[in-house]
Amino acid sequence: MVQAMNKYISTFITIVAGMLFSMSAMAYDGARLWLPAASDANGATVKLEAKGAAAAIAAQELRDSWSGNGTVVLRVKRDKALGEDGYRIIPSGDNLTVTANSGTGLLYGAYHLLRMQSMGKPVDSVITEVPAFDLRVLNHWDNLDGTIERGYAGKSLWKWEELPGKVSPRYKEYARANASVGINGVVLNNVNASSRILSREYIEKVRVLADIFRPYGIKVYLSANFAAPMQLDSLPTADPLDKDVAKWWKKKCDEIYAAIPDFGGFLVKANSEGQPGPCDFGRTHAEGANMMARALRPHGGKVMWRAFVYSPVDADRAKQAYMEFQPLDGKFDDNVIVQIKNGPVDFQPREPFSPLFGAMPSTPQMAELQVTQEYLGHANHVAFLAPMWEEFFGWVKPESLKAIAGVANIGDDENWTGHPLAQANWYAFGRLAWNPALTSGEIVREWLPAGVYGSHDVPADIKSGIEDMMLMSREAVVDYMMPLGLHHLFAFGHHYGPEPWCNPEGARPDWLPSYYHRADSAGIGFDRSPSGSNAIAQYPEPYRSLYASSSTCPDNLLLWFHHLPWDYKMKSGATLWDELCRHYERGCVAVSDMQKSWMKAKPYIAPELYRDVEERLATQARDAIWWKDGCLLYFGEISGMPLPDDVTAPVHTLEQLRAVDLGISNYESPSTSLLNSKR
- Provide Rg for the chain, Cα atoms: 26
273 is catalytic: yes
Sign of CA dihedral 343, 345, 347, 349: negative
Which element (helix H / strand E) includes 441?
helix 440-448
Nearest distance from C-beta of residue 374 to ligand BDP, angstroms: 6
* Angstrom distance (rounded) from CA 303 to CA 300: 10
CB 550 within 8 A of CB 558: yes
Nearest distance from C-beta of residue 285 to ligand BDP, angstroms: 15
Helix, coil or strand: residue 91? strand
Which element (helix H / strand E) includes 375?
none
Which residues, other chains included, contact 591 with Cβ-Cβ below 8 Å and sequence gap of 6+?
476, 480, 617, 620, 621, 624
Output DSSP code: residue 302. Answer: E
Q: Which is nearer to ligand BDP, 150 or 487 (CB)?
A: 150
Q: Which is nearer to ligand BDP, 373 or 380 (CB)?
A: 373
Categorise residue 595: left if φ over 0, alpha if ψ from -120 to 50, beta otherwise: alpha
Q: Which is nearer to ligand BDP, 308 or 429 (CB)?
A: 308
CB 228 within 8 A of CB 199: no
Across 519-652, the runs of DSSP E, i.e. the strands, are none
Nearest distance from C-beta of residue 187 to ligand BDP, angstroms: 12
CA distances from 651 to 252, 499, 644 (A): 59, 17, 16
Q: Which is nearer to ligand BDP, 504 or 642 (CB)?
A: 504
Cα-based torsion angle of the residue sequence 422, 482, 493, 626 in order, rounded to the nearest 10 degrees:
-80
Sign of CA dihedral 464, 469, 474, 480: positive
Nearest distance from C-beta of residue 375 to ligand BDP, angstroms: 8
Nearest distance from C-beta of residue 150 to ligand BDP, angstroms: 5
* Angstrom distance (rounded) from CA 494 to CA 535: 28
Catalytic hit among 346, 446, 527, 585:
346
Q: Which is nearer to ligand BDP, 72 or 321 (CB)?
A: 321
Which element (helix H / strand E) includes 74?
strand 71-76
329 is catalytic: no
Q: Which is nearer to ligand BDP, 509 or 603 (CB)?
A: 509
DSSP alpha helix (H) spans, 181-234: 200-213, 228-233
Cα-based torsion angle of the residue sequence 155, 161, 164, 170 in order, rounded to the nearest 10 degrees:
-20
> Can you name the residues that pair with 340 across neighbouring β-strands?
367
Q: In what order do the strands lie in the sheet with 71-76?
A: 45-49, 71-76, 95-100, 87-92, 127-129
* Angstrom distance (rounded) from CA 562 to CA 557: 9
Q: Which is nearer to ligand BDP, 347 or 392 (CB)?
A: 347
Sign of CA dihedral 612, 613, 619, 622: negative
Q: Which is nearer to ligand BDP, 215 or 288 (CB)?
A: 288
Which residues, other chains included, contact 560 with Cβ-Cβ below 8 Å and sequence gap of 6+?
351, 352, 485, 486, 487, 525, 526, 528
Catalytic hit among 85, 374, 475, 479:
374
Nearest distance from C-beta of residue 346 to ligand BDP, angstroms: 5
Q: Which is nearer to ligand BDP, 378 or 562 (CB)?
A: 378
Nearest distance from C-beta of residue 149 to ligand BDP, angstroms: 5
Nearest distance from C-beta of residue 178 to ligand BDP, angstroms: 21
Catalytic hit among 94, 145, 201, 273:
273
* Angstrom distance (rounded) from CA 171 to CA 140: 14
CB 676 within 8 A of CB 651: no
* Angstrom distance (rounded) from CA 320 to CA 141: 23
346 is catalytic: yes
How big is the CA angle at 48 (ends 42 and 50), to the nearest 5 degrees? 150
Cα-based torsion angle of the residue sequence 550, 552, 555, 557 in order, rounded to the nearest 10 degrees:
-70
Classify burial at 564, counting beta carbons within 10 Å of its beta carbon; exposed 0-12, middle 13-18, buried 19 or more: buried
Q: Which is nearer to ligand BDP, 257 or 492 (CB)?
A: 492
Nearest distance from C-beta of residue 473 to ligand BDP, angstroms: 21
Residue 382 C-beta-side C-alpha neighbours within 13 Å: 30
Nearest distance from C-beta of residue 273 to ligand BDP, angstroms: 6
Q: Which is nearer to ligand BDP, 511 or 543 (CB)?
A: 511
Residue with smallest beta-carbon separation from ligand BDP: 346
The footprint of ligand BDP (CB under 6 A) covers: 149-150, 191-192, 269, 273, 308, 346-347, 374
CB 529 within 8 A of CB 535: no
Among all residues, which ones are annotated catalytic?
Answer: 273, 346, 374
